[in-house]
């Protein structure tokens, strides 16, 4: 790895150029708008409306059963008529936010190197006076920044939609609560970085975006399943528990990225295709 | 004088085999090198090695005094590369494609803007500065890519097929530009299949074949090593009888004479023999309408080398291979 200082101008220039190009690519921007819109606007509206109008005694019986034990305490402590809508919008659907950083990171990471190869622009980048480390950093940031920004903006939109839907029942803003904030601010960025740690290398070795997407899908889909399956439980953990889970993801992500950065060379990139 | 490029046993392989095998040559500053060879000969790999994009498996090189393996950034700071494909991002405008390169190459925002404007103007693309390059013709793409390669006024230029896809006027302009750059003291490495342009521009030629350097030197020097004598043609205005051919062959300094078309082809010891051959024809009452020596072109030399390689490897020369005769086909 290079010991020279990071050339911030070069890194930011590559990031700026990539983001500008991505913004103009419908093949990339359309899924990045449609998926969050479906997950964070349409789904909570539909499910929230159903939950808002459902009889709440059924929910109460389910929550009071031993299955959820004391994990359900935050829900049970709410007035009965709020329980279902808060459970659904605050604890069951909101963790889907973690799919966003995974998806955005996957799409942009595939474009980072494989897309450049496909467009035959990579050779030009390789002949620029940028160190391997700075090139790697720029490509990671080009995918990481949008992944985090879209997740954060999406979370804000989701919170607004969920509160608006629940308002007739709750009469208050129930989102964000502490675990939600911890998930959005602490865990989601770590998840994005973990995905990139896996996908940037896949992208650098693939020859086309399609190949990168296929290989990346094999890598990222299990993560999406894990995120979707486990995130609801995450929301019921105490805040320290959420922070600890996030810490594990951060350590894994940074470790993976460090390892990849050490093994990333333009020679490998040029030789791969 | 320090070499612009100096390589010694430069070798690089891939899974498919050696792409460059023991490359050794030296190029002085201000020279134009034509890097020639069939597809897959190792030209692009050579450029990548010299610009520090690939690391050699053996051997070493110095480019403008820097080792590309160790100081790749320093080398790339001083070199400009035109890749065979223009390599423009079609989602960006012509100006954007140039500006990001200018910024990475150390121009401030205002200086980058000025430099981009001036280059787009120079290459006749100023009116398309804000157009996405997706709609550009091959020639327009090539011009923007050339502007990009020159944006930092590099000391050394690697040009991979600079005229491919260009119309005749575009080709002429690019050749004139390369000529101008070389005259200004820049070193140019020209990887090309177009032997005509290489012949017009190159001080040195390198012929690569399966990654090995099969010939290197000035085209004239290589020609003199391959053929003794100088080719010449006399235009005698019609078919020539055997006596005239015999008389010309008997002129001191003429080593061979052969009737050809409306005249005769000669091989001379040197160009001073030509007036004597003309005088001999005139003395016999044969009108001479034209007389010219024919120096072997880079194209003649290249195909002769390819033919020699094919013979050495026991293969057949392709139809494209011309006669090694310096007088040409």
How high is the ipTM of this complex? 0.83
- Test mutation, A129, A135, A142, A268, chain B, max B CBs within 10 A: A129
Residue with tokens 């308002």: A167
Chain A residue with CA closest to B74: the answer is A129
pLDDT at B329 over 70: no
Residue B196 binned pLDDT confidence (cut-offs 50, 70, 90): confident
- Establish whether the linkage from the previous residue to B262 is cis, with ω within 30° of 0: no
Record the pTM.
Answer: 0.84
Sort out which chain B residues have CB atoms less than 8 A from A267's CB and list them.
53-55
Q: Is some CB atom of chain A closer than 8 A to the CB atom of B57?
A: no
pLDDT at B317 over 60: no
DSSP string, B40-67: TSSHHHHHHHHTTSS--SEEEEEETTB-
- Joined tokens for residue B269: 């010891």
CB contact under 8 A, A127 and B76: yes
Measured in angstroms, the CA of B310 and the nearest CA of chain A are apart by 29
Q: Return d(Cα A139, Cα A12) in angstroms, integer.
A: 10
CB contact under 8 A, B73 and A130: yes
Q: Is some CB atom of chain B closer than 8 A to the CB atom of A71?
A: no
Percent of chain B with pLDDT over 90: 64
Q: Is some CB atom of chain A closer than 8 A to the CB atom of B126?
A: no
CB contact under 8 A, A270 and B53: yes
Q: Write the burial class of residue B17 (CB in 10 Å: 0-12 exposed, 13-18 middle, 19+ buried).
A: exposed
CATH superfamily of B5-217: P-loop containing nucleotide triphosphate hydrolases (3.40.50.300)
Q: Is some CB atom of chain A closer than 8 A to the CB atom of B51?
A: yes
- Test mutation, B50, B52, B104, chain A, max A CBs within 10 A: B104
pLDDT tens column, B146-177: 999 999 999 999 999 888 878 888 888 888 88
Chain B residue with CA closest to A117: the answer is B87
Nearest to A129 among B48, B105, B148 (CB): B105
Residue A60 binned pLDDT confidence (cut-offs 50, 70, 90): low
pLDDT tens column, B258-298: 888 899 988 888 889 999 999 999 999 999 999 998 877 88
pLDDT at position A229 is 64
CB contact under 8 A, B92 and A126: no
Q: Is some CB atom of chain A closer than 8 A to the CB atom of B90?
A: yes
Indicate the domain borders of chain A: 8-271
Q: Return d(Cα A266, Cα A133) in angstroms, integer.
A: 9
Measured in angstroms, the CA of B104 and the nearest CA of chain A are apart by 5
Chain B residue with CA closest to A26: the answer is B91
Query: Closest by alpha carbon to B24, among B5, B38, B42, B48?
Result: B5
Residue A215 binned pLDDT confidence (cut-offs 50, 70, 90): confident
Q: Is some CB atom of chain B closer than 8 A to the CB atom of A29?
A: no
Sort out which chain B residues have CB atoms less than 8 A from A14's CB and list them.
100, 104
pLDDT at position B326 is 45
Chain B residue with CA closest to A28: the answer is B91
What are the CA-CA distances from residue B291 to residues B188, B235, B241 (Å)? 35, 6, 18
Most trustworthy range by pLDDT among A85-99, A150-164, A197-211, B222-236: A150-164
Q: Is some CB atom of chain B closer than 8 A to the CB atom of A10?
A: yes
Q: Write the burial class of residue B89 (CB in 10 Å: 0-12 exposed, 13-18 middle, 19+ buried).
A: buried
Nearest to B89 among A21, A265, A266 (CB): A21
Q: List, in sequence order, every beta strand (DSSP E) within chain B.
A: 5-14, 17-27, 32-36, 58-63, 79-82, 156-160, 187-191, 204-209, 212-217, 230-235, 254-260, 263-268, 290-294
Q: Is some CB atom of chain B closer than 8 A to the CB atom of A271?
A: yes
Query: Coil, helix or strand for B14?
Result: strand
Measured in angstroms, the CA of B91 and the nearest CA of chain A are apart by 5
Q: Return d(Cα B63, Cα B74) in angstroms, integer.
A: 10
Residue B182 near residue B188 (C-beta atoms within 8 A) = yes
Q: Is some CB atom of chain A closer than 8 A to the CB atom of B105?
A: yes
Residue A216 near residue A104 (C-beta atoms within 8 A) = no
Sort out which chain B residues have CB atoms less than 8 A from A270's CB and list them.
48, 53-54
Query: Coil, helix or strand for A77?
Result: coil
Q: What is the mean pLDDT of residues A164-171?
A: 88
Q: Is some CB atom of chain B closer than 8 A to the CB atom of A16?
A: yes
CB contact under 8 A, B100 and A17: yes
Measured in angstroms, the CA of B128 and the nearest CA of chain A are apart by 18
Q: Return d(Cα B300, Cα B262) in angstroms, integer.
A: 22
Q: Return the minimum-mean-pLDDT range out of A92-96, A185-189, B38-42.
A: A92-96
Sort out which chain B residues have CB atoms less than 8 A from A22's CB and list them.
91
CB contact under 8 A, A13 and B100: yes
What are the CA-CA distances from residue B79 to residues A230, A268, B20, B275 (Å)? 52, 21, 21, 48
CB contact under 8 A, B54 and A267: yes
pLDDT at A232 over 70: no
Residue A210 binned pLDDT confidence (cut-offs 50, 70, 90): confident
Q: Return d(Cα A192, Cα A257) in angstroms, integer.
A: 11
Indicate the domain borders of chain B: 5-217, 228-294
CA atoms within 13 A on the CB side of A51: 27
DSSP string, B149-195: HTTT--SEEEEESTTTT--HHHHHHHHHHHHHHHHTT-EEEEE-S-H
Q: Is some CB atom of chain A closer than 8 A to the CB atom of B153?
A: no
Residue B159 has φ and ψ, to the nearest 5°, of -120, 115
Measured in angstroms, the CA of A271 and the nearest CA of chain B are apart by 7
CATH of B228-294, one of 1.10.760, 3.30.420, 1.20.140, 3.30.70: 3.30.70
């Amino acid at each position: 790895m290079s010991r020279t200082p990071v050339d911030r101008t070069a890194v930011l220039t590559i990031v700026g150029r990539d983001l500008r190009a991505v913004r103009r690519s419908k093949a990339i921007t359309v899924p990045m708008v449609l998926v969050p819109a479906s997950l964070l606007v349409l789904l909570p509206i539909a499910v929230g409306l159903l939950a808002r109008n459902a009889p709440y005694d059924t929910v109460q019986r389910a929550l009071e059963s031993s299955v959820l034990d004391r994990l359900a305490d935050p829900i049970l402590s709410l007035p009965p008529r709020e329980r279902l809508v808060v459970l659904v919008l605050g604890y069951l659907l909101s963790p889907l936010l973690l799919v966003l950083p995974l998806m955005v990171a996957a799409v942009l990471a595939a474009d980072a190197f494989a897309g450049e190869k496909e467009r035959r622009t990579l050779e030009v980048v390789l002949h620029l006076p940028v160190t391997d480390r700075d090139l790697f950093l720029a490509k990671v940031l080009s995918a990481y920044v949008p992944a985090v920004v879209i997740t954060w903006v999406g979370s804000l939109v989701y919170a607004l939609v969920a509160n608006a839907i629940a308002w007739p029942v709750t009469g208050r803003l129930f989102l964000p609560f502490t675990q939600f904030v911890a998930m959005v601010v602490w865990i989601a960025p770590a998840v994005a970085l973990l995905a990139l740690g896996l996908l940037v290398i896949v992208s650098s070795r693939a020859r086309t975006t399609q190949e990168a997407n296929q290989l990346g899908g094999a890598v990222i889909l299990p993560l999406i399943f894990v995120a979707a399956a486990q995130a609801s439980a995450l929301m019921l953990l105490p805040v320290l528990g959420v922070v600890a889970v996030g810490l594990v993801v951060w350590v894994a992500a940074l470790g993976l990225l460090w390892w990849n950065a050490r093994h990333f060379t333009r020679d490998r990139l040029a030789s791969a295709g | 004088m320090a070499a612009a490029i100096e390589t010694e046993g430069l070798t690089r392989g891939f899974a498919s085999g050696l792409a460059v095998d023991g490359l050794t040559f030296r190029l002085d500053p201000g020279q134009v090198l034509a890097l020639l060879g069939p597809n897959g000969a190792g030209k692009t790999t050579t450029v990548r090695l010299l610009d520090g994009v690939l690391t050699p498996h053996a051997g070493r090189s110095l480019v403008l005094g820097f080792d590309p393996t160790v100081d790749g950034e320093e080398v790339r700071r001083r070199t400009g590369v035109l890749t065979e494909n223009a390599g423009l991002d079609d989602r960006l405008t012509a100006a954007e494609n140039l500006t990001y390169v200018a910024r990475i190459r150390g121009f401030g925002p205002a200086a980058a803007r000025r430099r981009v404007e001036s280059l787009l103007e120079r290459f006749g693309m100023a009116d398309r500065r804000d157009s996405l390059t997706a709609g550009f013709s091959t020639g327009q793409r090539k011009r923007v890519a050339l502007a990009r390669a020159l944006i930092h006024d590099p000391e050394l230029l690697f040009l991979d097929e600079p005229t491919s896809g260009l119309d005749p006027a575009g080709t002429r302009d690019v050749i004139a530009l390369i000529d101008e750059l070389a005259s200004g003291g820049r070193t140019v490495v020209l990887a090309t299949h177009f032997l005509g342009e290489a012949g017009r521009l190159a001080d040195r030629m390198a012929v690569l074949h399966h990654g090995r350097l099969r010939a290197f030197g000035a085209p004239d020097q290589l020609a003199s090593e391959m053929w003794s004598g100088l080719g010449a043609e006399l235009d005698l205005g019609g078919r020539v009888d055997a006596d005239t051919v015999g008389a010309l062959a008997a002129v001191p300094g003429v080593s061979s004479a052969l009737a050809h078309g409306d005249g005769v082809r000669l091989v001379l010891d040197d160009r001073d023999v030509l007036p004597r051959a003309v005088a001999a024809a005139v003395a016999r009452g044969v009108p001479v309408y034209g007389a010219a020596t024919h120096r072997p072109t880079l194209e003649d030399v290249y195909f002769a080398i390819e033919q020699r390689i094919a013979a050495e490897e026991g293969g057949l020369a392709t139809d494209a291979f011309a006669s090694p005769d310096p007088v040409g086909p």
